[in-house]
Amino acid sequence: MQIALFSDVHANLPALKAFFADIDTKKPDAIYCLGDLVGYNIWPNEVIKTLKERCIPTIAGNHDLKVKMIEVDKVESLIAEKNFAYQLVGKNEKDYLLSLPSSISLTFTCNDDIINLLLVHGSPRSVNEYLFEEMEEADLLEIMKEANADILCFGHTHKPYHRVINSEKDRVAKFRHAINTGSVGKPKDGNPKGGYVLLTINESSSLKEKDCIKVEFIRFDYDIETAAIAIENSPLPNELAEMLRNGN
């Protein structure tokens, strides 16, 4: 079973198009989006339309929920400048974002083991919580145990990583996996290329084995200048364009 996971598009249509061009060559069994379709760029409605047309199961990110709080401000102020990306979201698109679930749970059977895969945006506890790679292992394990997640997949930090935790204190010793998918449209790890994850579940293995799953981090090129210039030609802060160019 191979699953594609992506997150944090942030209204970057050129990056999303390049992502789908790449993923279409790999033909995974399923594709899931871990949220943050909007914010930071000028194509929120086009991004949402693309995901809806492709019937991609999607969860809500913190920026998606932010459209509920943004009132249209016609005053040319710093606040209006920062909120411009959310003011672009159409009514139907806003309704779509606010209808998205906070998580998606999937269950697999592998060699008589039941594997619980949980997809969230920030963490199981909050859409706004950051699960950084340097987080204490005991704290991350506790979060996963509370959520009953053998495999926890998330975005939000825009920095991809895979941590394998040997859960020796469980009643049955097993490995747990924490996977950050990185970002399609706004990477922050110093690499400006878009990124996503291919997760392969070895159905003949078990959670007692470290290679129960295979995690592949894919990076792809896209037209960064088109995305950056679109920002510079809009009321959005120009610094957002430079962040795209530098991957930060």
Q: Is the pLDDT of residue 77 over 80?
A: no
Q: Is the pLDDT of residue 82 over 90?
A: no
- DSSP label at residue 61: -
Q: Is the pLDDT of residue 196 over 70?
A: yes
Alpha helices in 10-135 (DSSP H): 13-23, 44-53, 62-66, 78-87, 91-98
DSSP lists the bridge partners of residue 118 as: 105, 152
Higher pLDDT: 222 or 108? It is: 222
Q: What pLDDT does residue 78 have?
A: 45
Q: What pLDDT does residue 174 have?
A: 79
Which tokens belong to 53?
Answer: 């047309």
pLDDT average, residue stretch 14-27 = 98
Amino acid occupying residue 110: C
pLDDT tens string 172-182? 557 899 999 99
Indicate the average pLDDT of the chain.
91
Q: What pLDDT does residue 83 have?
A: 83
pLDDT average, residue stretch 148-152 = 95
Which tokens belong to 68?
Answer: 């509920």
Q: Which of 36, 43, 52, 53 is nearest to 88 (CA)?
A: 43
Whether 245 and 229 have beta carbons less than 8 Å apart is answered as no
Q: Are strands 113-119 and 151-154 parallel, antiparallel or unpaired?
A: parallel
Domains of the chain: 2-246 (3.60.21.10)
Distances (CA, A) of 35 to 64, 133, 142, 158, 165: 7, 19, 23, 12, 25
What is the C-alpha separation between 154 and 134, in angstroms, rounded?
Answer: 15
pLDDT tens string 225-238? 999 999 999 999 99
Q: What pLDDT does residue 81 have?
A: 60
pLDDT tens string 36-68? 999 999 999 999 999 999 999 999 999 999 998
Q: Is the pLDDT of residue 214 over 50?
A: yes
Q: What pLDDT does residue 171 have?
A: 53
Neighbours of 1 (CB within 10 A): 15
Nearest-10 crossing angle of helices 224-232, 13-23: 160
pLDDT average, residue stretch 130-134 = 97
Q: Is the pLDDT of residue 79 over 80?
A: no
Whether 50 and 95 have beta carbons less than 8 Å apart is answered as no
Which tokens belong to 153?
Answer: 């997949």
Question: Rounded to 5 degrees, what angle do the CA atoms 104, 15, 47 make?
Answer: 55
pLDDT band for position 71 (50/70/90)?
A: low
| Residue 145 host element (H or E) | helix 137-146
pLDDT band for position 18 (50/70/90)?
A: very high
- DSSP label at residue 238: T
Chain-centroid distance of CA 129 in Å reads 13
Q: What pLDDT does residue 112 have?
A: 74
Nearest-10 crossing angle of helices 13-23, 44-53: 20
pLDDT band for position 4 (50/70/90)?
A: very high
Which tokens belong to 205?
Answer: 């293995």
Q: Is the pLDDT of residue 72 over 50?
A: no
Q: Is the pLDDT of residue 119 over 70?
A: yes
